[in-house]
Structures are given as C-alpha cells and as structure tokens.
Amino acid sequence: MTCLPSQSGKKLGLVIDLDTCVGCQACVTACKEWNTGGHMAPLTDIDPYGGHVDGVWFNRVHSYEHTTEMGGRTVNFPRSCLHCETPACVTVCPTGASYKRASDGIVLIDEDKCIGCKLCSWACPYGAREFDTDVGVMKKCTLCVDRIYNDNLAEEDRVPACVAACPTSARHFGDLGDPQSAVSQLVAERGGVDLMPELGYRPTNKYLPPRAHTTRAASVAAPALEPVRAEGGFLGWVDRMLSN
Amino acid sequence: MHPAFSVVFFTTATGAGYGLLALLGVLGGFQIIPLDFWLGFIGMGLALGLIVAGLLSSTGHLGRPERAWRAFSQWRSSWLSREGVASVTTFIPAGLFGIGWVFFGSSGGWVTVAGLLTACGAVVTVCTTGMIYASLKPIAQWHSRFTLPGYLIFSAMTGSVILNALLQGFGRGSTAILAFSLLLVLLGWGWKLATWRYNDALEIPTNANTATGLAGGTVRTLEWPHTEENYLLKEMGFRIARKHSARLRQITQCVAFALPVFLLAATFTLPWPFATAASLLAAIVQFAGMLVERWLFFAEAKHTVTLYYGR
C-alpha cells in the first residue's frame, strides 16, 4: 500500500555541505554511471548527441549567486531525492508502485507497477522524480540501495555513488534517525537545514549552509589601480595627444 | 504546469458528463423530467458517452496504459485511485437507472433509488477529481479552497446547460431548468473571477531562499544543471499561458460564461426553433470555453520546482 509505514527509527539519507561543494558535477556523472545499470536502470538518454538532449538524472547540481549584506558568493547546490518522512509522492500513487521502506526510510518505485501517471512528480516540491519517456515509468534516486547493502563491494564502497565520487567530501551518508551518528552530529554542529520546511514534507536529507563570511582573513586581492589624473605640462600634453 | 490535452479533455468531459448524469438521476428518478424513451436514451447516452470518452482520454496521459487496472488498488491514500474506484462504481447504479428509466419507462421504487445513487456517485467522483488537484501542496494555485468547489460548480453548470439543450431539443423545455442553468452559469462565472482574484493576490511562503536553504538576501540562478529543457521544465515549467494569461482569461470569460448567459437569456424570449438553437449553441460554446478554462487552470499553475530554475 502507498500508505506510509510506521518507521523503525532508521532514517538513511544524505547531508550535503553547501560550503565545500565546488560544483564539479562528479556526483552527477557517478550517479548516472552507477544507476544506469542499477536498481532503476536504464536512465534513458533521448537524442544524446543531438540538439535537444534530454534524459533521466537522479541528481542535478545548480549554481546560485547568494547575495546578503555581508557580500555575495557562488553556491553550488546539488538537488536529489530527500527521502522525506511524509512523502506525498508516495501517498498520491494510485498503484502502490511508490513506497517508503519501513526498515530504513528509503523512498523507492516498483517499476513493474508504475503506470506513468506522473502524479508523484507533481506532488514532489523538489523535482526529485523524472519521467522516463522511453520506458513509460517514473524514476528517482534509490539512495544506491544496490550499493549500500551490497556484500560484493568492499565495505568502504558501500555508500551511494555520489558520496563515493565527491572530491571535496561535500556529501555525507548515514543514519539521520540516530542522534549519535556522524551525520547527525555534523548537522547539529553546522546547523543543517531542511529544504522548504514550510510545506511539511519533513525531508531526511539535510543541507549545511555555507559558513559565515569572515573579516579576519588577509585580503588576497590585488590593490585597485589608481585613477589617472589629468595633468598639465608636457606629460599632460602627451596624455591628451595620445587620448585623441 | 503543462496542460496535456488528454487531461484537459478528461476533466472537462467527465465534469460535464457527471453533472448531466447526476441531474438525470435526480430529476428523472423523481419524474421532474417527463418519461420519454428518446430523451432518456440520448440523455443517458450523452452523459455516459462524455464520461467514457473522458476516462479513455485520461489513459492517453499514462506511460503504461496497459497497467491502468492497478490504479484501483490504493484508494486508502490516493485521490487518483479513489477517483478510479468512484468513477467505475458509479456505472453500476447508472446502468440500473438507465435500464429502468429508459427501457422500462418506469420511475419510482428501485429506479428512483438507483437514480439517487447515481447522482451520489457522480458527485463523489467529481469531488475526488477536484481533490487530486486540491491536495497538491507544491502548486499553490491548486492547493486552495477554491479548487474543489470549482470542480463541483463547473460540473453542475456544464451538465445543466447540456440538460437544458436536450430538453429544448425535444420540445420539452422547462423554464425552471432553463433558469437553473442560467443561475449556475452566473455562479460559475463569479467563482472563476473570485479564483483568479485570489490567485493573483496569492503570497506564497516558499521562495528561492527556502528552496535552497540559503537564508536571507537574494538567491539568483547563475547556471542550470543542464542546457536543454528537461522533464521537470517541460512538465512543470510551462510558461506560455502566463505570458498570454490576460487575453486567455478574456476568451474564457467570453466563451465559457458571457456567450452562454446571453444565449440562455435569449432562450426565454425566442420562439420555438430559435430557442432550441440558442440552447444547443449555448451548450456547445460553453464546452469549448471550458476547455480553454481548464487549459488555463493547468497552464497558470506554478510548481515550486520552478524556483530552482529561477522561473
């Protein structure tokens, strides 16, 4: 049933550090590479070398300019399924294809039951679900359910592909239901936030806001060029002649 | 939101069909509409035809229509599943009522009960359709108190205008039903104006700051994750209607409400063949106008995912 299960308390999810993400898109390509052969395979690409490229991706990295009174900065922002605690994408599903696992809170789609009505993608405020027009079913992030429990992989590789690929350790994976876990501690320490908390979906994934601007650091910028003053005399005459 | 024609036609046609079916069930069951084989046959045929055409059209929206039967299973949580169950269940009393009222030419007793059950089923089905949209929090224009009553009012309105055309066509026009349909068109017009007014003044708490978790200041899109439009932008980032919304609203007001009001008012005064023609024209024009209204309902709705794209 697409009714939400009573939870075991385990809430697997990601913590994404907006301070250290450099927007390199490595997580995006690693996700695509793993998942196009994984649980929800294939992640179809339509017209991949043509003028109207389209295709299914579970993870997309946006770039924003965040301007406050402290100044402006570029923030790279990875966006994927947040594995919400009250995911409307699951409850709106008419067929039971969408479900939330009681054991670890991962939100998944049973592709064999999906009728491709697209209502779940309308119900998700974060744009986490993408429709595969080629197969006719909806697809979404699986939190690499086929990696994290995979006994065939070395233990250190049993993390989502995006986490394994991140070169700046901006992505962290763990149990957010356990207040003692490393990810929960990180969220507490850095003031991790929910996206669109006002909508009440209670996302499991948390985002760590960029650290505050500091005034302590030495200025590394080159000094500003001095303006050229209009001069009299010979140099002034040369300046006027060359300026014409 | 992308206005897929299959869904625009589906909601408009089933709305009119269930409206007509509910009115036939109540008015036929209580003999307010006179017993007449051809009137009943064409009336029930039209109502059920609109419903079936709409339901078939809705399967055109599916990626895997051959699995549509699965949609009857999750009625405990999903309004879409409830709509499926309610729409199919309504065929049972509707079929019994149609047989009793049209073929046996009887009303009263079990036919009246079947007629009333048909009307209840029709109302419940339209409610479930409205709730599919009203329950979606990411789309503020739909997640409002105007959506569900809107679906009910427009269903009753289009159904009654078709019923009036039908009665006029069989020379059994009734001033009461003509006045009833005219009032419903005026109510629908007022409701649509109130809905637009509410949507235009809507202050949505969700913005680029809450969407990205970046508090304070302004969040401006520098770069998209992709160069071409993806599924999200095609399905939920539809912008054409917002560009032309003022003109399209005028067209809706004119074709779905003003012209039918004029034609129905003219029906009061015109002699026989012209009154019938005006009533028929009112029903046809209004159906076309409601397709524009429903197209706008989708196209003007803004999904929160567009915030990530700076739209």
- How confident is the model over A70-122, as pLDDT tens digits? 888 999 999 999 999 999 999 999 999 999 999 999 999 999 999 999 999 99
Beta carbons of A113 and B70 less than 8 Å apart = yes
Q: Is the pLDDT of residue A230 over 70?
A: no
Rounded to the nearest 5 degrees, what angle is found at the Cα of B77, between the Cα atoms of B75 and B79?
Answer: 65
> What's the half-sphere exposure (Cβ side, CA atoms, 13 Å) at B62?
21
Query: Chain B closest CA to A216's CA: distance in Å?
Result: 22
d(CA B36, CA B18): 21
Is residue B4 classed exposed, middle or buried when 0-12, 13-18 and 19+ CB atoms within 10 A define those classes?
A: middle
d(CA B100, CA B110): 8
Q: Is the pLDDT of residue B208 over 70?
A: yes
All residues of chain B having their beta carbon less than 8 Å from the beta carbon of residue A209 are 213-215
Q: Is the pLDDT of residue B265 over 80?
A: yes
By the CB < 8 Å criterion, does B131 face chain A?
no
Tally of CB atoms within 10 A around B69: 10
Averaged pLDDT, A49-76: 93
d(CA A10, CA A178): 7
All residues of chain B having their beta carbon less than 8 Å from the beta carbon of residue A197 are 210
Of 1.10.287, 3.30.460, 1.20.1630, 3.40.50, the CATH number of B5-309 is 1.20.1630
- ipTM for the whole predicted complex goes beyond 0.85: yes
Beta carbons of B25 and B163 less than 8 angstroms apart? no
Mean pLDDT over the full length of chain B: 94
Q: pLDDT value at position A229?
A: 65
Averaged pLDDT, A54-63: 96
Among the listed residues A4, A63, A74, the one whose alpha carbon sits nearest the alpha carbon of residue A28: A63
Output the six-digit token pair for B246: 């003022």
Question: What proportion of chain A, given as a percentage, has pLDDT over 70?
Answer: 96
What ranges do the domains of chain A cover?
12-208
Residue A172 pairs in a beta bridge with A15
Lowest-pLDDT range of B75-84, B240-249, B265-274: B240-249
- Angle between helix B5-29 and B110-134 (nearest 10): 150
d(CA B262, CA B270): 12
Beta carbons of B205 and A198 less than 8 Å apart = yes
DSSP for A13-77, please give it: EEEEETTT-----HHHHHHHHHHTTSTT----EESTTSSS-EE--S-EEEEEEEEETTEEEEEEE
Query: Chain B closest CA to A196's CA: distance in Å?
Result: 5
Confidence band, pLDDT 50/70/90 cuts, at residue A238 = confident
What's phi and psi for A63, nearest 5 deg? -125, 130
Q: Is the pLDDT of residue B164 over 80?
A: yes
Q: pLDDT value at position B241?
A: 66
Beta carbons of B231 and A133 less than 8 Å apart = yes
Is residue B174 classed exposed, middle or buried when 0-12, 13-18 and 19+ CB atoms within 10 A define those classes?
A: middle
Q: Is the pLDDT of residue A1 over 60?
A: no
Confidence band, pLDDT 50/70/90 cuts, at residue B237 = confident
Structure confidence by residue, pLDDT tens digits, A162-215 = 999 999 999 999 999 999 999 999 999 999 999 999 999 999 999 999 998 777
- The alpha carbons of chain A give a radius of gyration, in whole angstroms, of 24
Query: Chain B closest CA to A58's CA: distance in Å?
Result: 12
By the CB < 8 Å criterion, does B264 face chain A?
no
Q: Does domain A12-208 have CATH number 3.40.50.300?
A: no
Pairing of strands A206-208, A12-17: parallel
Q: pLDDT value at position A9?
A: 85
By the CB < 8 Å criterion, does B68 face chain A?
yes
Averaged pLDDT, A149-166: 96
Handedness of CA B163, B167, B169, B174 (dihedral sign): negative
d(CA B161, CA B154): 10
Tally of CB atoms within 10 A around A239: 15
Beta carbons of B63 and A137 less than 8 Å apart = yes
All residues of chain A having their beta carbon less than 8 Å from the beta carbon of residue B2 are none
Q: Is the pLDDT of residue A18 over 60?
A: yes
Q: pLDDT value at position A232?
A: 77
Beta carbons of A79 and B308 less than 8 Å apart = yes
Confidence band, pLDDT 50/70/90 cuts, at residue A227 = low
- For an interface test with B, the pick among A16, A60, A82, A117 (most B C-beta atoms closer than 10 Å) comes out as A117
Q: pLDDT value at position B69?
A: 93
3-state DSSP assignment of residue A132: strand
Output the six-digit token pair for B33: 């509409």
The model scores a pTM over 0.80: yes
CB-CB: which of B61, B80, B230 is closest to A92? Answer: B80
Averaged pLDDT, A131-151: 96
What's phi and psi for A182, nearest 5 deg? -60, -40
All residues of chain B having their beta carbon less than 8 Å from the beta carbon of residue A52 are 228
Beta carbons of A95 and B70 less than 8 Å apart = yes
Among the listed residues A96, A103, A98, the one whose alpha carbon sits nearest the alpha carbon of residue A175: A103
Rounded to the nearest 5 degrees, what angle is found at the Cα of B122, between the Cα atoms of B121 and B128?
Answer: 90
Averaged pLDDT, B146-164: 98
CB-CB: which of B78, B215, B305 is closest to A209? Answer: B215
All residues of chain B having their beta carbon less than 8 Å from the beta carbon of residue A198 are 205-206, 210
Tally of CB atoms within 10 A around A212: 9
First to last CA, chain A: 80
Beta carbons of B1 and A62 less than 8 Å apart = no
